[in-house]
Structure 1
Amino acid sequence: MIFNSEISGQQQHTTSPVVTGGSVIALVYNGGVIVGTDTLCSYGSMAAFKNVQKIAQISKNTIYASSGEYSDFQQVVKELAKIDRSALQYDDGVHPSPKDYGNFLARLSYKKRCKINPLYLQNVIAGFHNGERYLGLIDIYGTYLESNFITTGFASYFCKAIISNYWNENCTLDQAKQVIRECFKVLFCRDCRAHDVIQLAYVDAQGAHIEESERVETKWDFNGFKSRANEKLHTQ
Structure 2
Amino acid sequence: MNHLPQAWGRPRDDIYGHYDPSHLQTAGPNAHTQQPIVTGTSVLAVKFKDGIVIAADNLASYGSLARFTHVHRLRPFNDRALVGFGGDISDMQYLDRLLNSLDVNENYGSPGHVLNAQNLHTYLSKVMYKRRSDMNPLWNSMLVVGLDGDDKPFLSSVDLLGTTFSSPTLATGFGGHLAQPLLRKLADDESQVKDVTREKAVAAVQECMKVLFYRDARSLDSYSIAVITKEGGVELKEDEQLEGQSWAFADTIRGYGTQVN
TM over 0.5: yes
Question: In structure 2, what is the equivalent of residue 183 of structure 1?
Answer: 208
Structure 1 contact 13–72 (Cα < 8 Å) conserved: no
Query: Does 1:142 find its partner at 2:162?
Result: yes
Of 197, 202, 208, the match for 2:234 = 208
Of 182, 186, 199, the match for 1:174 = 199
SS in structure 2 at match of 1:20: strand
Measure the CA separation in 1 of the matches of 2:79 and 2:61.
30
Measure the CA separation in 2 of the matches of 1:97 and 1:13.
32
SS in structure 2 at match of 1:64: strand
Structure 1 contact 34–176 (Cα < 8 Å) conserved: yes
Question: In structure 1, what is the equivalent of residue 217 of structure 2?
Answer: 192
Of 36, 43, 47, the match for 1:28 = 47
Residues 33-52 of structure 1 deviation map (CA, whole Å, 9 limit, x = unaligned) = 11100000001110001111
Question: In structure 1, what is the equivalent of residue 183 of structure 2?
Answer: 163
Q: Which has the larger radius of gyration?
A: 2
SS in structure 1 at match of 2:185: helix
1:212 deviation in Å?
3.6
Larger mean Cα displacement after TM superposition, 162-171 or 137-146: 162-171
Using structure 2 for the length normalisation, give the TM-score: 0.78
Question: In structure 2, what is the equivalent of residue 126 of structure 1?
Answer: 145
Query: Does 1:52 find its partner at 2:78?
Result: no
1:179 deviation in Å?
0.7
Go from structure 1 to structure 2 and tell me whether the alpha carbon gap of 1:60 and 1:166 turns closer, same or farther (over 3 Å shift). Answer: closer
Unmatched tracts of structure 2, length 5 or more: 1-23
1:95 deviation in Å?
2.1
Measure the CA separation in 2 of the matches of 1:12 and 1:66.
24
Query: Does 1:96 find its partner at 2:96?
Result: no
1:165 deviation in Å?
2.5
Question: In structure 1, what is the equivalent of residue 91 of structure 2?
Answer: 72
Larger mean Cα displacement after TM superposition, 91-100 or 56-65: 91-100
1:164 deviation in Å?
2.2
Structure 1 contact 27–169 (Cα < 8 Å) conserved: no
Larger mean Cα displacement after TM superposition, 206-215 or 176-185: 206-215
Identify the structure with the greater strand proportion: 1
Measure the CA separation in 2 of the matches of 1:6 and 1:191.
44
Measure the CA separation in 1 of the matches of 2:32 and 2:226.
28
After TM superposition, which residue ranges in structure 1, 4 or more long, deviate above 3 angstroms?
5-8, 219-222
Identity among equivalent pairs (%): 27
Go from structure 1 to structure 2 and tell me whether the alpha carbon gap of 1:93 and 1:183 turns closer, same or farther (over 3 Å shift). Answer: same
1:213 deviation in Å?
1.6
- The amino acid of 1:198's aligned partner reads Y
Unmatched tracts of structure 1, length 5 or more: none
Question: In structure 1, what is the equivalent of residue 102 of structure 2?
Answer: 83
Residues 119-178 of structure 1 deviation map (CA, whole Å, 9 limit, x = unaligned) = 100011111133211111001100012221110000111112211224552322221111
- The amino acid of 1:196's aligned partner reads D
Tell me the matched-pair count: 227
Using structure 1 for the length normalisation, give the TM-score: 0.86
Q: CA RMSD in A?
A: 2.8
- The amino acid of 1:77's aligned partner reads D
Question: In structure 2, what is the equivalent of residue 112 of structure 1?
Answer: 131
Go from structure 1 to structure 2 and tell me whether the alpha carbon gap of 1:172 and 1:226 turns closer, same or farther (over 3 Å shift). Answer: same
SS in structure 2 at match of 1:67: strand
SS in structure 2 at match of 1:169: helix
